[in-house]
């Protein structure tokens, strides 16, 4: 009766503790509210901006140097590389299905046996101790499961291919964004030069109009129009200078460095030539189908889904495996030792 009462008490306490678990408090109360981070979710140390590696601030950086800097500092390529490493590890995990599974156990038991005499007699009453020690080993090896191992492995292999293609795509995206940011930065500097030339020309025109007005050869309206052109040219110059800062920030983002980094960027003096633009459009599309990593990643994802479906279908079939186990043990009871116990089993099973 006491045991039953203790069991019911333990069950009640377990129910109370389980009922106290409320994971809804870990998120916002409603979809319209802002989630307030708890202290454990906040960084333990103050976050700081990344430091530019090396002495790049003292170097004159050309486009190839900027690309190398972007591939070194951009966090997206590193994250994609680690994703590919994780996919490779998962492939290794699925390959382990082709190897046997070995289980090793070691058992040690210490038993105390208490014998109580009947009707007050002490015949046979007493306490005995026994110790049992014995290792055991078991081997299981799947012989055939109707292709499920193959489907699982190929699904993981295609996932690895997809991760590698996505990694290549991110490298290409980094190259493209760096090149675009570099040429946009150069274009912004060119706009500044053009705006400065326009302002110089407007100042020259205004000075000439002012001199003609002073000499009595011009009108006030011509002088005011020339002055308006000067102010408009100053506004265009300020816009161009703002565009330089914007493109410089975009270039810093592509490089993965702080925008405040004082980099000595070498301006491009010549436009790159490309003979691929003259090729046939269909030829370019065929080349893209073979070389674009994002398309190849989509193809690998399709194959991964196919093999995942095959593995799911194979789950309806039985698994045929071979097994073997061996057990050795000896019972030590008092001053006597029992005979060794040796058990062996080898066979096939279907589950």
DSSP lists the bridge partners of residue 101 as 140
Give pLDDT tens digits along the chain (351 positions).
555 565 556 656 555 555 555 667 677 777 677 777 777 667 666 655 555 555 555 677 888 888 888 887 877 888 888 888 899 999 888 988 888 888 888 888 888 877 766 666 655 567 777 777 788 888 888 888 888 888 889 888 888 888 888 888 888 888 888 888 888 988 898 899 999 999 999 999 889 888 888 888 878 888 899 899 999 999 999 999 999 888 888 888 888 777 665 677 877 666 555 565 565 666 766 676 666 777 777 777 788 888 888 888 887 888 888 888 888 777 766 555 667 777 888 888 888
Rounded to the nearest 10°, the torsion over CA 296, 298, 300, 306 is -150
Q: Which residue has the tokens 């070194």?
A: 72
Pairwise CA distance, residues 310 & 144, whole Å: 15
The domains located in the chain, with CATH, are 73-268+281-350 (1.20.1600.10)
pTM for the structure as a whole:
0.55
- Given phi > 0 = left and psi -120 to 50 = alpha, else beta, which region is 342? beta
């Amino acid at each position: 009766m006491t045991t039953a009462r203790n069991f019911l008490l333990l069950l009640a306490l377990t129910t109370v503790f389980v009922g106290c678990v409320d994971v809804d408090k870990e998120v916002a109360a409603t979809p319209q509210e802002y989630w307030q981070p708890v202290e454990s979710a906040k960084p333990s140390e103050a976050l700081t901006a990344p430091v530019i590696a090396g002495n790049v601030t003292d170097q004159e950086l050309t486009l190839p140097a900027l690309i190398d800097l972007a591939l070194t500092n951009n966090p997206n390529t590193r994250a994609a590389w680690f994703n590919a490493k994780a996919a490779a590890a998962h492939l290794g995990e699925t390959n382990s299905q082709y190897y046997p599974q070995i289980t090793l156990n070691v058992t040690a038991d210490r038993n105390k046996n208490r014998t109580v005499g009947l009707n007050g007699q002490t015949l046979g009453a007493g306490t005995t101790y026994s110790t049992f020690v014995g290792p055991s080993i078991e081997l299981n090896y799947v012989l055939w499961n109707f292709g499920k191992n193959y489907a699982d492995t190929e699904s993981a292999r295609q996932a690895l291919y997809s991760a590698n293609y996505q990694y290549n795509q991110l490298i290409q995206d980094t190259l493209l964004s760096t090149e675009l940011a570099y040429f946009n930065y150069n274009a912004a500097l060119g706009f500044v030069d053009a705006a400065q030339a326009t302002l110089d020309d407007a100042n020259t025109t205004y000075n000439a109009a002012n001199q003609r007005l002073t000499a009595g050869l011009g009108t006030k309206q011509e002088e005011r129009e020339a002055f308006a052109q000067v102010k408009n040219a100053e506004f265009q110059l300020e816009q161009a200078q703002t565009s330089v800062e914007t493109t410089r920030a975009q270039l810093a983002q592509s490089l993965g460095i702080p925008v405040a980094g004082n980099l000595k960027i070498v301006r491009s003096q010549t436009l790159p030539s490309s003979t691929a633009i003259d090729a046939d459009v269909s030829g370019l599309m065929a080349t893209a189908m073979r070389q674009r990593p994002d398309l190849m990643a989509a193809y690998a994802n399709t194959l991964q889904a196919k093999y995942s479906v095959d593995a799911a279908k194979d789950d309806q079939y039985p698994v045929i495996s071979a097994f073997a186990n061996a057990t050795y043990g000896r019972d030590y009871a008092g001053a006597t030792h029992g005979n060794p116990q040796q058990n062996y089993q080898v066979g096939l099973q279907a589950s």
